[in-house]
Structure 1
Amino acid sequence: MKITNPVLTGFHADPSMIRVKDTYYIANSTFEWFPGIRLHESKDMVHWNTLPYPLGAEQLDMRGDPASGGVWAPDLSYADGRFWIVYSDVHIVNGAFKDVVNYLTTAEDIRGPWSKPLRLNGVGFDASLFHDDDGRKYLVQQTWDHREYKHQFHGITLTEFDTATMRLKPETARTIWMGDDVKLVEGPHLYKINGWYYLFCAEGGTVWTHQESVARSRTLDELSFEASPTNPFITNFDIPGSYLQKQGHGALVDTPSGEWYYASLCGRPWHHETESFTDPRGWCTLGRETSIQKVEWAEDGWPYIVGGHGGERYVEAPKDAIETVAPASRDQHDEFDADVLGLDWNTLRVPFDEKMGSVGGGSLKLIGQGSLCNTFDLSLVARRWQAFDFDAETCVAFDPKTYQAMAGLTNYYNDQHWSWAFVTYDEDRKCRVIEVAQNDRNNYTSFLRENAVVVPEGVDRVWLRAKVRTQWYAYEYSFDGETWTELPVRLDARILSDDYVNQTYGGFFTGAFVGLAAVDYSGYGEVATFDHFDYREISGMED
């Protein structure tokens, strides 16, 4: 078997991979999207199944967290017969401060239930828990420095964790490594292998200069770690033509037979035909995904990536892999028969509840709340873009009496970058209409205006479809679900990419989503009823 990278497509950043007996698990960041922390399992590293999210309403409240705040870089580990997850909830993204709270939750079963979170500290984000072979445990974390005359990424701090009291011992805190000259050292994971402590850290920022570096020490003393002479361990900065870019932040794992692999975040850029291949480097509309590379060890004890530090698109699976049964397609069809949302659906910052709407019996009802710019009260359910080319379709029944009420199909990156096709009310023509609008860096544009499509009297439902084709996307409508008309607006997909958002905003860590939304900022809670959702991928760039 071959591992085909990325193994987790679409927004699956900051992978923390472990093995328990013959099974591998990956935890990924979810940032402001709820539920918190995406989990997958596999026995062959090739085929992956989605697991229930560990962070529900009891473990997480992100109301008011900014875009790309929330859950950063969860660390998954297994020790003492339990799964342990350390995660950060980041409350500030831009500016001198990061205001982060690190939490710990545990479970005997990866599928839960997970314990009420234990608050650890706020020293810095990207915390991980290291279980030493003498039974002691340590929190290892990036350290944040707000002072303008210091570098904000102030090394890697290690603090002992007392399992008797389930508290950190702050008096034991020390900086064990300051990182390389590349700076921006973060995402630490610590391992003990053949008597050495190996520290794997991301550096260079999670952009084109991203990389992973390795250091090691015989002890856990202050500043005792020495950098590998062959750093970077993995990067694509010097290989702009590589299919995979941005590889870095990730985790190391061994197989039962002693092979080694490294799970890393990565990006896959595309370019407009008029653009240089190197500047701009490209647009990663699928966000940061997860790749897996084979690792071997040199005679001097330093690890290296098989095939060179740029990694490979196709990687040999473990020799002892057990073939895993997993869905052959990422396509999704939902008729909303169940009374809970499936694992592919996400909401923003808070769980789906009766304030947002209801699901079951063949429909999803969304109660109009705030606009798609709202970070507190928003009725939106969405799923990741996982391919560069796909169609997404829904059907909505909506009878608004004000232009302040809207419902439809959205493609969404964050509260400043999104678009949608929606049904609303035109007070001049005194009828329902279909409009297309975009929010680009918080500049809102209604494209159809007086040419908005009139919904005929007697038509109860409107079908809407998004056609995403790598570089652009468009919306279509139908009044019978069979005859479709494309709305005369083609939108630039780059506006929903990490790289475009990064030009004006410091939180660019998620990826594009497609979903269903209802807005009624008049405050009267107009209800939109969706009777199905289809997501169908089309062969395109990634093939």
Structure 2
Amino acid sequence: MIRNPILPGFNPDPSICRVGDDYYIATSTFEWYPGVQIHHSTDLANWTLVARPLNRAALLDMRGNPDSGGIWAPCLSYADGKFWLVYTDVKRLEGDWKDAHNYITTCEAIDGDWTDPWYVNSSGFDPSLFHDDDGRKWFVNMQWNHRQKGSGVNPVNDRFDGIVLQEWSPDRGLFGPVTNIYAGTDRGLTEAPHLFRRNGWYYLTTAEGGTGYDHAVTLARSRQIAGPYADHPDKHVISTKGVPDHPVQRTGHGQYVEAPDGTPWHTYLMGRPLMHDGKPFCATGRETGIARCVWRDDWLYLEGGGLLPPETVALEAETAPRGAVAHDRFDSLPPEFQWLRTPQPERLFRIDDGALVLTGRESIGSWFEQSLVARRQEDAAYDASTILHFAPQVYQQAAGLVTYYNRHKFHGAFVTSEGGQRCLTLISCNGDWPAGRLDHPIAPVPIPDGPITLSVQVRGAVQQFFWGAGDGVQPLGSARDAFHVSDEGAQGEHASFTGAFVGMMAFDITGQGAEARFSAFAYTPRRLDAAEND
């Protein structure tokens, strides 16, 4: 059985390609480093993380990028005996401007060293590369319009100024005419273009409706690559708009792939909403699903009809259970962990004698150098714990366990120092955008010398921190609102495109680089009772 999401937790904007019997999906990583996640499967059900290719400064440096900036919507393809990866590095996303720079890199092996990139353009985001049957390559991206209202090609949201096409080659770069090939439908916000060819038709898959609950996969076709493109009879091949009770929501932004036997499939971005005060929120962020499709009259439809991607799809493969992951010591950085923005991780952490040692750098709100090493929240309910060895000297030095979304949405249990006494404190930012004001919900709790166990229990929209110095554990303060650590938890208009993480952090705003040793970490999924889903 395929169980959606096939890539749980923050894994949005899935670009899929097949090479023989092997499937690969590339997903967005935004400000998390290294850039782009690539998973591999042979059965579409069981997926393994095999690469994060943008792993050095020549390929990616996001220091200074805003929250939800960085790597947007990669496109992965295979041609000429190698993999091609197209990606965007977004340097600004708020207001009327988007500074979005598009690049291409290649590699003969999916987990090899990718080439230094070709810079392509900056006219918009969500680029992709299409390899035509005649060997020519075509670059498409949505075009961003910063001008006044009424100046774009789609009146629904004319910032999204159509899909533009231009020929590209490694030797010449972009050349030839730039053609705006598709304005989109009345759903608007037309983005995420992917081209494919079948039975003499060029097909253009796009995403529309924004990445929230109006999201959709839209399909159009043309006999000529430059258009004109006619809309699908239903316009949208995948959508859950207007069906609020369906367990899968926010469906859109995917790509078509055929199995070796010709069976058509389409990936899609999705969310699994919980409830908070009567409103939906996606604790696990934007994830990846897949749906089996059928062809009728040279148009693609979901198998079984309708606009709802199925929750499960029958396959002959077993889906491995998603179990606990425990690290009793650190001999290397486990593959599920990432850090933020910088191509210089050696300034943030190192492995030493079975421990992950974090060097305290800038504050938890920094966009430059933040010592946070964390993994995705993949489940609506989970437990996480770590063992910390840390001897702070002043209150400006702290280390601990954090549930984190971005600089204005997080909770953390920290070991610090107050008046010469080692103590525990809670620090939260409850969605306060743009100021990022902190909440300190408890008075400092004195603790003895030696290792401290910190843990958190997350149950839907509620989370509780615990601590222990020996055999027992006890609550640290009262429960925190986990709703804030989600896409929908923002206050204000700030974009929230990533997902919740849990991990280890150290900061030292004295600038002296105090070190904190983490000797273990565990993540255990739990069952969410109906009563805990508000």
> Would you say same fold, with TM above 0.5?
yes
Supply the distance in 1 between the matched residues of 2:132 and 2:69 (Cα, whole angstroms). Answer: 31
The Cα of 1:498 is off from its aligned counterpart by 0.7
- 2:7 paired with 1:8: yes
Equivalent residues in 2 for 1:329-408 (5 A)? 329-338=322-331, 340-351=332-343, 353-408=345-400
Query: Does the Cα contact within 8 Å between 2:341 and 2:369 map onto a contact in 1?
Result: no
The Cα of 1:328 is off from its aligned counterpart by 4.0
- 2:27 paired with 1:61: no
The Cα of 1:336 is off from its aligned counterpart by 4.3
Query: Does the Cα contact within 8 Å between 1:335 and 1:363 map onto a contact in 2?
Result: no
The Cα of 1:377 is off from its aligned counterpart by 1.6
**Letter of the 1:419 counterpart:** H
The Cα of 1:50 is off from its aligned counterpart by 0.9
The Cα of 1:306 is off from its aligned counterpart by 1.8
- 2:447 paired with 1:455: yes
The Cα of 1:453 is off from its aligned counterpart by 1.6
Query: Residues 312, 38 of structure 1: CA spacing in aligned structure 2 closer, same or farther, 3 A cutoff?
Result: same
* Residues 362-401 of structure 1: CA deviation (Å, up to 9, x unaligned): 1111111111001112111000001111111111111111
- 2:180 paired with 1:175: yes
Match of 1:303 in 2: 300
Query: Does the Cα contact within 8 Å between 1:179 and 1:185 map onto a contact in 2?
Result: yes
- 2:504 paired with 1:505: no
The Cα of 1:541 is off from its aligned counterpart by 6.1
Match of 1:111 in 2: 111
Instruction: Indicate which of 266, 289, 292 corresponds to 1:291.
Output: 289
Match of 2:502 in 1: 514
Query: Residues 352, 392 of structure 1: CA spacing in aligned structure 2 closer, same or farther, 3 A cutoff?
Result: farther
**Letter of the 1:416 counterpart:** H
* Gaps in structure 1 of 5+ consecutive residues: none
Supply the distance in 1 between the matched residues of 2:52 and 2:338 (Cα, whole angstroms). Answer: 11
Supply the distance in 2 between the matched residues of 1:262 and 1:71 (Cα, whole angstroms). Answer: 22
The answer to which of 303-312 and 172-181 deviates more is: 303-312
The Cα of 1:360 is off from its aligned counterpart by 3.5
Supply the distance in 2 between the matched residues of 1:116 and 1:73 (Cα, whole angstroms). Answer: 19
Instruction: Indicate which of 422, 434, 438 corresponds to 2:424.
Output: 434
Instruction: Indicate which of 421, 435, 444 corresponds to 2:438.
Output: 444
* Residues 184-243 of structure 1: CA deviation (Å, up to 9, x unaligned): 00001001010000000000000000011111000023x511111212111111211001
- 2:148 paired with 1:159: no
Query: Does the Cα contact within 8 Å between 1:69 and 1:507 map onto a contact in 2?
Result: no
Query: Does the Cα contact within 8 Å between 1:398 and 1:528 map onto a contact in 2?
Result: yes
Normalized against structure 2, the TM-score is what?
Answer: 0.94
Query: Does the Cα contact within 8 Å between 1:389 and 1:541 map onto a contact in 2?
Result: no
Supply the distance in 2 between the matched residues of 1:156 and 1:313 (Cα, whole angstroms). Answer: 31
Match of 1:474 in 2: 464
Supply the distance in 2 between the matched residues of 1:253 and 1:177 (Cα, whole angstroms). Answer: 22
The Cα of 1:354 is off from its aligned counterpart by 2.7
Query: Does the Cα contact within 8 Å between 1:156 and 1:186 map onto a contact in 2?
Result: yes
The Cα of 1:86 is off from its aligned counterpart by 0.2
SS in structure 2 opposite 1:286? coil
Query: Does the Cα contact within 8 Å between 1:188 and 1:201 map onto a contact in 2?
Result: yes
The Cα of 1:330 is off from its aligned counterpart by 4.5
- 2:43 paired with 1:44: yes
SS in structure 2 opposite 1:229? strand
The Cα of 1:408 is off from its aligned counterpart by 0.2
* Residues 51-103 of structure 1: CA deviation (Å, up to 9, x unaligned): 12111013110000000000000000011111000000000111111111101
* Residues 467-498 of structure 1: CA deviation (Å, up to 9, x unaligned): 11112001000001x31101122111110111
* Residues 378-436 of structure 1: CA deviation (Å, up to 9, x unaligned): 11100000111111111111111111111000000001111100101112xx3111111
Match of 1:123 in 2: 123
**Letter of the 1:484 counterpart:** V
Match of 1:239 in 2: 243
Normalized against structure 1, the TM-score is what?
Answer: 0.93
Supply the distance in 2 between the matched residues of 1:536 and 1:487 (Cα, whole angstroms). Answer: 20
* Gaps in structure 2 of 5+ consecutive residues: 152-157
Query: Does the Cα contact within 8 Å between 2:409 and 2:489 map onto a contact in 1?
Result: no
Supply the distance in 2 between the matched residues of 1:235 and 1:46 (Cα, whole angstroms). Answer: 22
Query: Does the Cα contact within 8 Å between 2:359 and 2:515 map onto a contact in 1?
Result: yes
Match of 2:405 in 1: 413
SS in structure 1 opposite 2:505? strand
**Aligned residues with identical type, % of pairs:** 39
Query: Does the Cα contact within 8 Å between 1:32 and 1:69 map onto a contact in 2?
Result: yes
The Cα of 1:148 is off from its aligned counterpart by 2.0
Query: Does the Cα contact within 8 Å between 1:336 and 1:360 map onto a contact in 2?
Result: no
Supply the distance in 2 between the matched residues of 1:448 and 1:488 (Cα, whole angstroms). Answer: 6
Match of 2:155 in 1: none
Supply the distance in 2 between the matched residues of 1:330 and 1:261 (Cα, whole angstroms). Answer: 27
SS in structure 2 opposite 1:125? coil
* Residues 158-191 of structure 1: CA deviation (Å, up to 9, x unaligned): 110124x15111x321011100011100001001
Match of 2:512 in 1: 524
* Residues 268-292 of structure 1: CA deviation (Å, up to 9, x unaligned): 11013x41xxxx3x01111000010
Supply the distance in 1 between the matched residues of 2:402 and 2:284 (Cα, whole angstroms). Answer: 16
Query: Does the Cα contact within 8 Å between 1:398 and 1:407 map onto a contact in 2?
Result: yes
Match of 1:138 in 2: 138
SS in structure 1 opposite 2:479? strand
Q: CA RMSD in A?
A: 1.6
SS in structure 2 opposite 1:494? helix
- 2:232 paired with 1:224: no
Supply the distance in 1 between the matched residues of 2:137 and 2:370 (Cα, whole angstroms). Answer: 40
SS in structure 2 opposite 1:231? strand
The Cα of 1:351 is off from its aligned counterpart by 3.7
Supply the distance in 2 between the matched residues of 1:330 and 1:40 (Cα, whole angstroms). Answer: 18
Query: Does the Cα contact within 8 Å between 1:96 and 1:148 map onto a contact in 2?
Result: no
SS in structure 2 opposite 1:113? coil
The Cα of 1:137 is off from its aligned counterpart by 0.5
Match of 1:251 in 2: 255
* Residues 286-321 of structure 1: CA deviation (Å, up to 9, x unaligned): 1000010011111x211111242111101123xxx6
Query: Does the Cα contact within 8 Å between 1:18 and 1:25 map onto a contact in 2?
Result: yes
Query: Does the Cα contact within 8 Å between 1:423 and 1:435 map onto a contact in 2?
Result: yes
SS in structure 1 opposite 2:26? strand
Query: Does the Cα contact within 8 Å between 1:294 and 1:316 map onto a contact in 2?
Result: no
